[in-house]
Structure 1
Amino acid sequence: MHHPRAPRTPRGDRSPEPPAHRRLFRAVLTAALTTLLAVPAGAASAASPAAAAPAAPVTPAAPAAEAAELDASRFGGVNWAAPGDNFIDGPVVPEGLSESDDYATVRAKADAVYSGFESTVGANTVRLPINTYSVPGTAWGDAYFGAVDAATDRGMQVILSYWEDGAASGGRIDDEAAFFAMWDAVVDEYGSTDLVYFEPMNEPHGYSASAWADLAVDWVERYPSVPRDRMIVSGSGYNGEVVSVCGDSRLDGTYVSLHLYAFQFDSMSYDEWVNLFRERIGSCGARTVLDEFGAPMDDGRDYNESDSSDNFVRYIRAATDTVQDLGMGSVYWPALGGKHTYRPDYDWYSLFALHGSGTDLSLSVRNPTGIDRLTYAFGLSGRTPDTGLANVGVPGCLDVPGGTQENRTQVQIYDCNGGSNQQWTRTATGEITVYGGAKCLDALGGAGDDGTRVGIYDCNGQDNQRWTFHSDGTLRSAASGLCLDVSRETSKAQLWSCWGGDNQQWQVV
């Protein structure tokens, strides 16, 4: 049955209309994002190598009555979730925010977090949870939606998805009046904001496929002013297949969303994982956003290993390859927040650890090979993680002189030429290797003083061979926290106290 909307007075002081959507394939982002491993968000805006290229113009949305040409690959992003998950009978508060935050504080925190999402993984989309306690017109919602405004003002797309609260349980809507009043408030606030997308319900597993399609149609028809290409209809069950909703002509013109996790199935080969994804997607790749998928990121699994015996690795590689092959969108679960089932303080699937206090927040990446697979899914990098490292202040690439493999050889900056002595690979545990993993970038002698030479040495797993990238472009030794620095006089690499000079800033080439 169609539910007529009740009139509502919009919330005041709306943010200005956001800038146009920035396309995924931005040359500068492609150069910088595939290596960044840790994010001091406060520094990101000053010297981030991920400075955006000029925004591409947005194609005007098609009227709701028309089926717009859909391109799900426009979505490449992450979920920002509440600690413990988003199924909360009360305000849903993503990790790093506090229910006591006001609108300005939420915006400032969100801006720091989004800077990290952009600079490390190239995210152009964030998926945020909402519920009946967390929308405009509620005490928390009026503040929380500063996170939406912060994203759209950066040119990021936002997917707003409803999670069960007191108005729903067991995958079903219990209180349709509250459910639709919530969506009325959200659509009134953001129905005309092109970068905001609406996902009526996350994982509607309490309905049969046909009953869920009926409710989704009811939702779509309630909001005729919203273009269908800004609606994302969940697949049936736990979003486990999209063929049924994609095949329902009443939902033509909408995107559809899929969730698949390795824990839901027995161990499978890579090919079996690919076949499962394709079976659940059918011919709907261009309409499908894989807006939940994830795997452990804190235990050193190498997601770049193409012939891995690890089921999680095979699953992630199959997921990201399928996204690319079928032109799908993808939104990883979670970037922050999520379940604490296997770790007491965080979700072991989470991409980032959160650091700092107040609005001075920073992120560090748990597994750089997971980032590699996501940037590949987003269309920002190739299938292999080997790259050059260029210094910003001293022109040229990080180079092993003469192509030698002799231990303790100090590395230098030399004209970029793509040689094997300039091809560096990130590992799941933080090493940066050369010559196909034969040697590691090493703070020679293990010292942590200004002027310590940096060179190559047999990989040994010590902290002086572990490195983290920051969104200010610096590359820092895990052992000392000092920056990888290039002497302007000799072009030789060394450790030095981080001070913000461009001879301490690095980019991928």
Structure 2
Amino acid sequence: MKRTNLLTVLSIACLLSNCKSEMNLSEIRNDTKVLQNSSSRIAVVANTVKGMNWADGRDNFVDGWVIPSGLSASDNYAAVQTKSDLVLTGFQNAGANTIRLPINPNSVLESWWNAYTGAIDKATGKGMNVVLCCWESASSKDGKVDDSTQFWNMWQTVITKYGSNDKVLFEVFNEPYGYSSTELRTLYADFLTNYPNVPRDRIILDGTGYADNVTDIGADSRFNSCLLSLHNYTWFGGNLTTPSAWEQNVQNHIGSYGSRTIVTEFGAGLTGGKNYLGAANGDVEVAYLQGMTNKIKSSQMGSIYWPGLRDGDSYSLFTFNGSVMSLNNISALARIQYGWSMIPVTNGSTYKVSARHSGKVLDINAAATTNGAILQQWDWANGSNQKWIISETDPGVYKFIAQHSSKGLDVNGGATAYSNGAYLEQWDYYGGDNQKFAIVSIGGGYYAIVAKHSGKVFDVNGQSTANGAGILQWQYSGNTNQNWQFSLL
């Protein structure tokens, strides 16, 4: 979460005591009905987790029920399923295979659970993983479990229902900054003891502090098979201004445990029109998101963006109006997908590129071989002026070289041509950022093509379906004249 407040509660001593009101831990173990880990199941590997946080608009630290944005306390199971399908489809179209959902004792032990499980069931039914994470209440604000009896009752209920579902993962406690390392490791050890039949790779343990360092927990041999959770935001790292500085910052907080780590929260401002593909030039957020996603990829970590959806949050990747999921920043999604190791094309291979709305392909006008020849759409004719050799130039961005001329696609006006309406042409390739493009999956086998220098996308002028319509750069809207299909030749 992007934090504005955190929690208060019982001490760890009470958690581990034999208070009358506390559930007997042996009863928890005996009552838990889950499948034994077996060789037939596929273990969860951290870097296969490509996720989005679906968060409460109030933040997930709430007193009472936690209700992700777009849902309502009055929803029943069927209504939650219907609404969830729209949100989850938006996440899947962006490449996500995982959602992280908040839980707390009120949400699980009261009537909301009967409806809320509709979101979990819809996600797993769509083939997604679900991370269920316990948040403390808004009134506590101390980084500890609020009430140990309710905490264990909550997890008992959750694991009884989902312990045998390999699509559901359990994150024991979010941002446990109120505990010492010893106290936190005791809490986690109790969880493993209480639920011995839950496969360890489905249990996620937050690092110490605000989950900002996983090395202490990773070094405890009792947790060797568990996954680790790391959080990182710009203010965690002292406002570093280069991607490489952020990569080192993350390395300092994961040590040798990258392959077991899922970055369950990271995010930056997405509603101000910032371009996350261009040079950082001292911009903390651009440097941060580039450095984070570079390190997520290179260290083979999983990641869950904060938030995929949260009402009123400038970090939110999507906005949801009740029926449509709208993407807030295509360049940020390009970086997130890079961190997920999503590879859109075979490097150095030749493609035709077709517009979704018209079925026509990218084509150099009249098969000209001169600099400045215009890029247009045209019926496929198998011409070499319609064939593109696509090669990665920088992490996550590509050049498009016309087969007939060996020239590169180029946004007219150079690396400072940021405005809507600049047209695409061919030009001698010289490595300018206006000649480099991210290829971003938007679902259904279609992609947006995003200029590195501007963060704007290829757009068929006027949504025309006619031969000869020019290709411009334009702010991403999601319209089908900005959707492209790549066919390997």
TM-score (norm 1): 0.70
Structure 2 partner of 1:111: 85
Offset at 1:310? 1.0
Cα distance change on mapping 1:213 and 1:261 into 2, 3 Å: same
TM-aligned CA deviation for residue 6 of structure 1 = 4.6
Partner of 1:100 in structure 2? 74
State how far apart, in whole Å, the 2-side matches of 1:98 and 1:394 are: 39
Match of 2:19 in 1: none
Q: Match for 1:315 among 277, 288, 291?
A: 288
More contact order relative to length (CA 8 Å, sep ≥ 6): 1
Structure 2 Cα separation of the partners of residues 292 and 482 of structure 1:
38
Cα deviation, 1:454-499, whole Å, max 9, x if unaligned, reads 97589xxxxxxxxx99757698x99x99983534xx475799xxxx
Q: Name the amino acid aligned to 1:140.
A: W
Match of residue 40, structure 2, among 51, 60, 66 = 60
Task: Please give the alpha-carbon distance, in whole angstroms, between the structure 2 residues aligned to 1:138 and 1:405.
Answer: 68
Structure 1 216/89 Cα, relative in aligned 2: closer, same or farther at 3 Å?
same
State which of 304, 307, 317 in structure 1 corresponds to 2:277.
304
Question: Which one of the candidate residues 39, 56, 63 is aligned to 1:89?
Answer: 63
Corresponding residue number in structure 2 for 1:258? 230
Q: Aligned match of 2:320 in 329, 339, 354?
A: 354
User: Aligned-pair distance for 1:384?
Assistant: 13
Deviations 1:391-447 (A, max 9, x none): 358766322323566598753344452158xx9xx99xxxxxx8343269xxxx99x
Compare CA radii of gyration and give the structure with the larger one. Answer: 2
Contact 2:234 2:285 (8 Å CA) reproduced: yes
Distance in 1, matches of 2:31 and 2:138, equals 24
Q: Equivalent residue for 1:220?
A: 192
Equivalence for 2:247 = 274
Aligned match of 1:506: 484
Which of 115, 139, 153 pairs up with 2:111? 139
SS at match of 1:101: coil
- Output the CA distance in 1 between the equivalents of 2:371 and 2:269: 34
2:341 pairs, out of 372, 379, 400, with 379
Q: In structure 1, what is the equivalent of residue 433 of structure 2?
A: none
Distance 1:71 1:151, change over 3 A: same
**Secondary structure, in 3 states, of the residue corresponding to 1:82?**
coil
Q: Note the residue ranges of structure 2 that are not aligned, 5 or more in a row.
A: 1-15, 17-23, 398-407, 415-419, 427-439, 449-455, 473-479
User: Which whole-Å deviations, capped at 9, do the CAs of 1:363-408 have from their partners, x for residues lacking one?
Assistant: 1111111010111111113799999742358766322323566598
Q: Classify the secondary structure of the residue corresponding to 1:79.
A: strand
The residue aligned with 1:290 is: 263
Against the structure 1 CA distance between its residues 419 and 484, is the aligned structure 2 distance closer, same or farther, given a 3 Å change threshold? farther
In structure 2, the partner of 1:243 is 215
Asked if 2 retains the 8 angstrom alpha-carbon contact of 1:172 and 1:206, the reply is yes
The question of 1:71 aligning with 2:37 is answered no
C-alpha separation between the residues in 1 aligned to 2:346 and 2:277? 8
Q: Describe the shift of the 1:409–1:474 C-alpha distance in structure 2 as closer, same or farther (beyond 3 A).
A: closer
Q: Secondary structure at the match of 1:486?
A: coil
- Secondary structure at 1:161 match in 2: strand
Structure 2 counterpart SS, 1:4: helix
Aligned to 2:411, the other structure's residue is in SS state coil
Match of 1:27 in 2: none
Question: RMSD between aligned alpha carbons?
Answer: 4.2
1:218-245 CA-to-partner distances (Å, cap 9, x unmatched) read: 1111101111010000101100100000
Give 5+ residue unaligned stretches, structure 1. 12-16, 18-57, 63-67, 338-344, 428-433, 447-453, 459-467, 496-501
Conserved? CA contact 1:77–1:123, under 8 Å? yes
Aligned partner of 1:397: which letter?
V
> Do the aligned partners of 1:132 and 1:165 also contact (CA within 8 Å) in 2?
no
Aligned residues: 408
- Quick one: which amino acid aligns to residue 338 of structure 2? Y
Match of 2:465 among 474, 478, 486: 486
The CA distance in 2 between the partners of 1:185 and 1:243, in whole Å, is: 30
Mapped to 2, the partners of 1:413 and 1:267 lie a distance apart of 50
